[in-house]
Structure 1
């Protein structure tokens, strides 16, 4: 099946849906058994879609897990209460005291905080690497390197990594490869075909798609699925049936939402690219984005999230630009139906081995489902305010 057909069809088996269009919400803590024999039988299948205890999941959860795993091409999917929980839960499932972690330097800031504030206390060391390192990552692999973590495109600055090359070298040295695949979603890249062992998503973003649920997921290949499944359970990770239902419902429109938002974003980004105030656009589909050649090779589409780098400007001008927007809302996260804008300052402080020119302000935009003409008008008025505030 093609991706859009899969999105509509997966996770709707009668064992989950009981014949209705959307798998119903089954909330549960205790599961009641008829007798000891039934309990023992359920215990044998508690890791394979058999309802056993609420934390193991209900058919509402199993429907979502099955759909995501098949969309991404993995053996199984674990659900977490947020994207950050999916990252931390997966790392803790595979790292032990004395292990070494290779972490991409453009990683999501809370992931960096996890490495520096929590993993160090567990005796796990981290080395950051340039997202564009490619085959040269071999020089950073130590005898105790256990995991290589990728995020492509990178958080905020959008560098695209050579994922197949990095994964190939990591596997030659016996390392496990983890990818934060949130930007691509389950439909715009094929992480397992590129050599990724575990693909992590902040389902809060495009899977849910409506800015009303916090959720994360991690999908593993057959080699690592059982370990991820078991350890995430030991860590007590689970989500509510209501949230799983909303994520499944959001998933059904992922293809059309993502296609429209990607198209809208390209229109807005191309308009911004022509503005004299803009130094360059950081959109993976643009040649100005570092690693663009890997996007062209490995991705089947884009989404609504990109960054624009402005020429030097005062904080007052940037505040004037962002304040009083009509359609762009000021807020964190992304992936919903609405457009968002955020001024990201201090990037140079969250880089270890790569340089960021602090004199060039970066604005991150998420383009929603509004008409692009209205968004462009909003930005045009913002540039007018920007110039009035410049000395």
Structure 2
């Protein structure tokens, strides 16, 4: 049997089957909306329930989705190299499923200090109340063996890290996790399985916000949890079902549509981002560029070893205070001010200094950090926009 390239598989997942009577079919599956699933007879119901109880992705009720959802689950499994996937209505919802499905009262989890900011809010708002304790650590500097407690059950990381994009040594983390019998869970939204595959590097659970590069058009909220191990799959499945998460069939369809162009979108984002890095490297206002594909980045060698590409995400440290950098952000014309990324458009975020205080990778707390998502506009236009805006920085 021919094994096709990932790009080819992504294009053909979700192709609609031919009608047996007419011999025709639309190119893509339609959005299958339903709340109730009908069964031909009780035997069909029994078969579906037996499969579901065994942890399989059986269709039994509209909350778990129909064929549109199954196709999107296949997309995530192909991208990540997993054997089981559950969908969630947002990336944060997917993170909740992983934490609450794999931890219980009295458990302890090690969380890297570079994770997505709302994870800390999850800790404060829910985990502490549930009796789940968290220790934040630097994957670069701290000795995990010294931090593991008798009740430690999981290591949770994000690589590259949020805001500063530090690459973590996933195989080394996996080795530590295995040595202590811990589950290694990672947020892989940056790589989204297309340019970085942590499950192949030893991670046990991968979480992706499909809101970003999977969908690609800034019009969908979506998350996914992907695993390889059958026992972990059963726990994730049970948590997702108990929490009542549901994804709109239309959102699943939009994500399936978006992923068809992922193979051309992400490389173009990456090319544009590197051109922008080259320009920014010549500007006196820019002290440092945080982008693992940039050859001067501290994590570049790990990126070369573990990744197959890059994307449009980068941050820049400016030679001014955070307050003095605000005119730069306001002067940008092609960059929308917003918190998301992964769509076709360019975005900018003025990073609140307080959010960086806990990131040990951040050295210069008196300087401004600006996060950029480099979109699919003409890179010459983006560079010209950045150039005129840099001139607005208050000296």
TM-score tier by shorter-chain length is over 0.9
RMSD: 1.9
Equivalence for 1:326: 333
- Distance change in 2, residues 1:127/1:22 (3 Å): same
SS state at 1:43 partner: helix
Matches within 5 A, 1:1-391: 1-12=4-15, 14=17, 19-46=25-52, 47-133=55-141, 136-223=143-230, 224-313=232-321, 315=323, 317-347=324-354, 350-351=357-358, 356-386=363-393, 389-390=394-395
Partners of 2:80 and 2:205 in 1: how far apart?
Answer: 10
Structure 1 range deviating more: 3-12 or 97-106: 3-12
**Count of residues in correspondence between the two structures:** 385
Structure 2 portions without partners, runs of 5+: none
Work out whether residues 317 and 368 of structure 2, in 8 Å CA contact, stay in contact via their aligned partners in 1.
yes
Unaligned stretches of 5+ residues in structure 1: none
d(CA) in 1 for partners of 2:179 and 2:51?
A: 35
Once the 2 structures are TM-superposed, how far is the Cα of residue 288 of structure 1 from its aligned partner?
Answer: 3.7
Q: Could you state the TM-score of these two structures normalised by the residue count of structure 1?
A: 0.94
Deviations 1:65-89 (A, max 9, x none): 0121122110111100100110111
Q: Check 1:144–1:171 CA distance in 2 against 1; reply closer, same or farther (3 A cut).
A: same
Q: Quick check: 240-249 or 284-293, which moved more?
A: 284-293
When residues 326 and 281 of structure 1 are mapped into structure 2, their CA distance, relative to the original with a 3 A threshold, is same
Q: CA offsets per residue over residues 231-272 of structure 1, 9 Å max, x none?
A: 111111120100000011111111100000100011011100
Distance 2:144 2:297 in 1: 21
CA distance in 2, matches of 1:199, 1:15: 34
Tell whether the 8 Å contact from 1:148 to 1:178 is kept in structure 2 after alignment.
yes
**1:326-356 residue CA offsets vs partner (Å, 9 max, x unmatched):** 2111111100000001110224665176654
Equivalent residues of 1:321, 1:385 under 8 A apart = yes
Q: Is the 8 A contact 2:215 2:258 kept in 1?
A: yes
| Alignment CA distance shift 1:27-1:350 (3 Å) | farther
CA distance in 2: counterparts of 1:35 and 1:297, whole angstroms: 53
Give the 3 Å change call, closer, same or farther, for CA 174–347 of structure 1 in structure 2. Answer: same
Task: Please give the TM-score of this superposition, normalised by the length of structure 2.
Answer: 0.93
Distance in 2 of aligned mates of 1:364 and 1:243: 27
The verdict on how the C-alpha distance between 1:380 and 1:349 changes in structure 2, with shifts beyond 3 A counting, is closer
Q: Is the 8 A contact 1:101 1:126 kept in 2?
A: yes
Q: How far is 1:19 from its partner?
A: 4.0
Shift of 1:190: 2.0
Residues 137 and 291 (structure 1), Cα distance of their counterparts in 2 relative to 1, 3 Å cut:
farther
Contact 2:112–2:139 (Cα < 8 Å) also in 1: yes
CA deviation map 1:20-40 (0-9, x unaligned): 321111101111123323322
Task: Using the TM superposition, name which of 279-288 and 365-374 deviates more.
Answer: 279-288
Distance of aligned partners of 1:281 and 1:191 in 2 relative to their CA distance in 1, 3 Å threshold: same
Q: CA deviation at 1:193?
A: 1.6
Q: How far is the alpha carbon of 1:125 from its aligned partner?
A: 0.7
CA distance in 1, matches of 2:156, 2:176: 13
